[in-house]
Amino acid sequence: MTTLLTLDDCRRRDAADPLRPLRDLFQLPEGVVYLDGNSLGALPKATPDRVAQVVRAEWGTELIRAWNTAGWADAPRRIGDRIARLVGAGPGELVATDSTSVNLYKVLSAALAIAAEDAPGRRTIVSERSNFPTDLYIAESLARERGGTLRLVDAADLPAAVGADTAVLLLTHVHYRTGAMHDMAAVTAAAHAAGARVVWDLAHSAGAVPVDLHAANADFAIGCGYKFLNGGPGAPAFVWVHPRHVDRFRQPLSGWWGHAQPFAFVPGYQPAAGIGRYLCGTQPQIALAALEAGLDVFAAAEPLGGMAALRAKSLALTDLFIALVDARCDGHPLGLATPRDPARRGSQVSLTWHGDAPEAAHAIVQALIDRGVIGDYRAGDGSAEPHILRFGFTPLYTGFEDVWQAVEQLRDVLATGAWRDARFHRQAAVT
Ligand SMILES: *Cc1c(COP(=O)(O)O)cnc(C)c1O
């Protein structure tokens, strides 16, 4: 049954890959197989010059005039429109601004306020127990602030756990640990049928998997600029609100950039119409320029098939990784946390470690990084949540030969026990 895949097969697939030219738009260090673009996207070659231009020419020469002459004032909306195309939102419906955590605070506030008007009994936020910590921390504070409850459930209990008390269901579309992907349309429909609104966190989806917020009839969405969108460390995030909700509520961070007339300097807050009210303060132009350069790569992908082609390649890469780990790392205490079903898989593969040395998963990742294969490790609690070795596949720049090399190094690290070396057992602040 199993077809034996060879290095040559992988090289042939790279040669035949219509998206291969996109890799040349990135500055990837020689000898590195980068499988962490789901955490921090790689550097597009155009970004340093674009950032230098903003600093030298726009800031340095135009000074304050650049807010108008260089399009600074308009950047959150202009860049937002470009992200909108990747996630099935309409023009003028999405802005690039602030961080994912801050944007979550805004949309969750709005969702709770809408529920308070429409159905005052509904004050519970439901989320996945294993959702990304910042999402749960923000939800916890808001529940406390609004006198509501945060109820954490397992994915298997969804959408049944959305009940008569539920104001909002908060989910991350592609799970950061496992790479499992929710069926956005089906979950949204079920939550709506139960009377709740849904906030989707697209941190691991935008630029990685096709998303159609309108087709799914979603209510609110937020997402990250520095993962698959390659906007650089701490890049501005994004926020989208369905037009049916957007003018109903003033998000609580009522800064002057969200005002209907920010430069009128009038007393009293009047929210801008539409998504503009989700802006707060002055936006970081240098960071926005880097994000825009990241989005230029997606513009270059459009004539090559766009998100559909990127998704096809992403699945081909993750299928290959899974098949090669099955075939070549057999006999080691590894499991697969990521769904084998392509329809339920994002753009990463997470392996679990079940060996009796629980610190091994971390050490294996460190040993791989030492050999130029950069993935990451996410600690579990050792029982219900296993330790995870996480490998992100960015179809813009990851090749089939990269997948081969990654599995070959993993096979060798396991077979030789190279991970047992003491230098791979030191803990770093950010891993
Ligand atoms: C990466 C990520 C974030 C990041 O939030 P920041 O505010 O940028 O730190 C939030 N949520 C999820 C699900 C993520 O994966």
Ligand 1 pocket: which of 98, 105, 108, 176 to mutate (most atoms within 8 A of CB): 176
Burial class from Cβ neighbours inside 10 Å (0-12, 13-18, 19+) for residue 21 reads exposed
How many whole angstroms from 203 Cα to the centroid of ligand 1? 6
Which residues are known catalytic residues? 132, 201, 226-227, 390
Mutate to test the pocket of ligand 1, among 100, 129, 348 (most ligand atoms within 8 A of CB): 100
pTM strictly above 0.95: yes
**Confidence band of 3 (pLDDT split at 50, 70, 90):** low
Q: What is the mean pLDDT of residues 222-244?
A: 98
Whether 1 shows a pLDDT value over 50: the answer reads no
Task: Give the pLDDT score at 69.
Answer: 96
Strands 149-153 and 124-128: parallel
Could you identify the atom of ligand 1 that is nearest to the CA of residue 103?
Answer: 7
Residues paired with residue 111 on neighbouring β-strands, in sequence order: none
For 304-346, the pLDDT digits (tens) are 999 999 999 999 999 999 999 999 999 999 999 999 999 999 9
CA of residue 199 to ligand 1 center, whole Å: 14
Rg (CA), the chain: 22
Phi (first) and psi of residue 187, to 5 degrees: -65, -40
- Residues 314, 345: contact at Cβ < 8 Å? no
Residue 430 has pLDDT above 70, yes or no: no
Q: What is the DSSP string of 205-260?
A: TTTTS---TTTTT-SEEEE-SSSTT---TT---EEEE-HHHHTT---S---GGGBS
Please state whether beta strands 220-223 and 238-241 pair in parallel, antiparallel, or not at all (unpaired): antiparallel
Structure tokens at 285: 């132009």
pLDDT at 2 over 70: no
Residues 124, 165 contacting (CB under 8 angstroms): yes
Ligand 1 atom 14: the closest Cα is on which residue? 203
Tokens of 353: 């470690």
pLDDT in tens, 35-55: 999 999 999 999 999 999 999
pLDDT tens string 241-271 = 999 999 998 899 999 999 999 999 999 999 9
| Segment 333-392, tens digit of pLDDT | 999 999 999 999 999 999 999 887 778 999 999 999 999 999 999 888 766 778 999 999
Q: Are strands 387-392 and 376-378 parallel, antiparallel or unpaired?
A: antiparallel
Quick one: how far is CA 328 from the chain centroid?
Answer: 30
Distance CA 431, CA 376 (A): 6
Between CA 281 and CA 284, with CA 283 as vertex, the angle to 5 degrees is 135
pLDDT for residue 383? 66
Residue whose CA lies nearest to ligand 1 atom number 4: 100
Whether 232 has a pLDDT exceeding 90, the answer reads yes
Distance (Å) from CA 26 to ligand 1 centroid:
23
Q: Which residues are CB-neighbours of 203 under 8 A, at least 6 positions away?
A: 100, 132, 172, 174, 176, 222, 223, 224, 227
Listed in sequence order, the residues at least 6 apart from 234 whose beta carbon sits closer than 8 Å to its beta carbon are 99, 226, 287
pLDDT at 212 over 60: yes
* 104 Rama class: left (phi>0) / alpha (psi -120 to 50) / beta: alpha
Q: What are phi and psi of 197, to 5 degrees?
A: -100, 160
- Nearest to residue 184, comparing CAs of 156, 219, 150? 219
Q: What percent of the chain has pLDDT over 70?
A: 97
- Residue of 224, 350, 390, 430 to test ligand 1 pocket, by largest number of atoms within 8 Å of CB: 224
Q: Ligand 1 mean position to 20 CA, how many Å? A: 29
Atom of ligand 1 nearest to the CA of 227: 1
The rounded Å distance from CA 243 to ligand 1 centre is: 24
User: Would you list the DSSP string of 150-187?
Assistant: EEEE-GGGTTTT--TTEEEEEEESB-TTT-BB--HHHH
* CA–CA gap between residue 375 and residue 389 (Å, rounded): 7
The pLDDT confidence band at residue 411, using thresholds 50, 70 and 90, is: very high
How many CB atoms neighbour CB 347 within 10 A?
A: 28
Ligand 1 environment, Cβ below 6 A: 99-101, 132, 134-135, 172, 176, 201, 203-204, 224, 237
The mean pLDDT value for 177-188 works out to: 98
Whole-number Å distance, alpha carbon 301 to ligand 1 midpoint, is 25
Q: Is the pLDDT of residue 81 over 80?
A: yes
Cis omega before residue 76 (within 30°)?
no
| Span 288-316, average pLDDT | 98
Q: Whose CA is nearest to atom 5 of ligand 1?
A: 100
Closest ligand 1 atom, residue 101 Cα: 7
Least confident of 17-21, 315-319, 425-429: 425-429
CA distance 188 to 190: 5
Q: What is the DSSP string of 400-429?
A: HHHHHHHHHHHHHHHHHTGGGSGGGGPPPS
Protein residue whose Cα sits closest to atom 13 of ligand 1: 132
Residue 173 in this model has a pLDDT that exceeds 90: yes
pLDDT of 182 over the 60 cut = yes
Q: Among the atoms of ligand 1, which is closest to the Cα of residue 132?
A: 13
For ligand 1, atom 10, the nearest C-alpha belongs to: 100
Q: Which residues, other chains included, contact 400 with Cβ-Cβ below 8 Å and sequence gap of 6+?
A: 9, 10, 11, 13, 14, 17, 316, 317, 320
Of all residues in the chain, what percent carry a pLDDT higher than 90?
Answer: 93
Q: Rounded mean pLDDT of the chain?
A: 95
Task: Tell which atom from ligand 1 comes closest to the C-alpha of 201.
Answer: 13
DSSP annotation string for 347-383: SEEEEEE-SS-TTHHHHHHHHHHHTTEE-EEE---SS
How far does residue 236's CA lie from ligand 1's centre (Å)? 11
- Dist. CA 232–CA 249, nearest whole Å: 31
